Amino acid sequence: MFRDRVYLFRVGNDWRQFMAILAGMESEEGFEIMDTLKAFAMGQASRNNRARVFDWNKAAQIIKECQCKTASAGLSGDWEWTGGEIFTNGKPNLEDYTYLASTWAMPEIEIDGKVFPCWVYEDQSDWNSHTKWPESALKILEA
């Protein structure tokens, strides 16, 4: 089976086709693809897509409405590497690492074990992967 996939790559010159095959590959004949390689493949296959970034204003509104004490954020399918707490003990968390922008994964918020999409297109906001609790979101929490 693995040889068939390699053959597809050798026959085709389409880089995206190869990356899609590679991204879908799991363990075959003792050969495992690392998660970072899958992420690279997805990034290459979607590099011309519009970037999505975490919607901090929407997150602040959700947090305020539910009156929760903790909330986390991350990218769908990649929480292990991108997620972290954004709201801790009832206050914005500026310390925990998060990476909340992608051309292929959807930024999400997790509250009380429930995960919700929470994003806006990067070109429709002033935010990027480095944004952490912008002033507009802090004002929503304080109001």
Residue of higher predicted confidence among 4 and 59? 59
pLDDT of 4:
40
Indicate whether 1 pLDDT > 60.
Answer: no
State percent of the chain over pLDDT 70.
Answer: 71
In this prediction, residue 44 has a pLDDT band, given cuts at 50, 70 and 90, of confident
For residue 51, give the DSSP letter: P
pLDDT of 24:
52
pLDDT of 9:
39
pTM exceeds 0.85 for this model = no
Cα 123 to the chain's mean position, in Å?
Answer: 17
Amino acid type, 88 = T
pLDDT of 35:
62
Indicate whether 2 pLDDT > 50.
Answer: no
Structure tokens at 90: 């009832």
Q: Tell me the average pLDDT across 27-39.
A: 51
Residue range 70-97, pLDDT digits in tens: 999 999 988 988 999 999 999 999 999 9
